[in-house]
Amino acid sequence: MESGQASKTAMRVAMRRAAHQMIDHPLVFEDPFAVRILEPLLSVDGHNYEIKRSKHPVSKAFRSYMVGRSRYAEDELALAVQSGVRQYVVLGAGLDTFGCRNVNSDLNVFEVDFPATQSWKRDLMSSAGIVPPENLHFVPVDFDKSKLNVELQAAGFDAGAPAFFSWLGVTMYLTIAGFRQTLEMIGKLPKGSAVSFDFSMPRQSLGSVERMALDALAKRVAAAGEPFTLFFTEEELAEEFKRANFERWEFVNANEMNRRYFEGRTDGLKLVGGAARLTTAWR
């Protein structure tokens, strides 16, 4: 992340979620705020590329992945809430709108993000007339520099109670030290805590088609000033989970995502291979 600059990739992901609401039926991921929060940018050339190109097969594949991963994380969150969790931390929140859609008044939501991205988001919310609910807490943090636990607790987070974390589209931009510091913090929380996130597999572990997809995406994000820096195989990540005190975990690939969320569609919306995987790890 460039210092003092809001994340450009956060806007692109949000544009894809907005395109999903505007174009795709049925919805895989329902988000009535996705379009609203982007209102001032929707008609700006250069920003709305993902909407203009939304029928292109490559655009559809990326959009499927972005909405699929949000759905996956929120499905895991719902299970955690059912079992009594009352704290949700959205790490690297970007323009994620769960905090505004949250129907559980006793579920506290903590949005953690790079300070410049967060202040840009708050400006967009204010322009759209979106008033943050009382149980939505903003926590500006650079994962590579600040202590997440200190900042979270200063914002009212209870480290003595379980929490669910999502960390979507972020780990691939971090240093290994920043990644471990965050994972270790979650691993010290009480049982019942969990984290869902996506990660990128290393280039050398991929087949030729997946490698081409990774190269194309890596080129785009690097051009936006946010190059991929961190990669894991499933075996390497399992070691990270063990080190950080997690008890069990799952890995979810594109085929499983398609089975869960995209089966029976006639519009061709589905994940197409790629280097990304989803995971949830439980304490």
Ligand X SMILES: C[S@@+](CC[C@H](N)C(=O)[O-])C[C@H]1O[C@@H](n2cnc3c(N)ncnc32)[C@H](O)[C@@H]1O
Rule CB under 6 A: which residues touch ligand X? 1, 7, 9-10, 13-14, 92-96, 113-114, 117, 141-144, 168-170, 173-174, 178
> Looking at beta carbons only, is 13 or 41 nearer to ligand X?
13
Q: How far is the CB of 179 from ligand X (least distance, A)?
A: 10
Q: How far is the CB of 88 from ligand X (least distance, A)?
A: 13
Q: How far is the CB of 217 from ligand X (least distance, A)?
A: 11
> Looking at beta carbons only, is 61 or 168 nearer to ligand X?
168
Residue nearest to ligand X (CB): 94
Q: How far is the CB of 256 from ligand X (least distance, A)?
A: 19
> Looking at beta carbons only, is 80 or 139 nearer to ligand X?
139
> Looking at beta carbons only, is 22 or 247 nearer to ligand X?
22
List the strands of the sheet with 164-167, edge to edge. 136-140, 108-113, 87-91, 164-167, 194-200, 276-282, 248-252
Q: How far is the CB of 59 from ligand X (least distance, A)?
A: 16
> Looking at beta carbons only, is 174 or 206 nearer to ligand X?
174
> Looking at beta carbons only, is 65 or 262 nearer to ligand X?
65
How many C-beta atoms lie closer than 10 Å to residue 251's C-beta?
A: 14
Q: How far is the CB of 90 from ligand X (least distance, A)?
A: 7
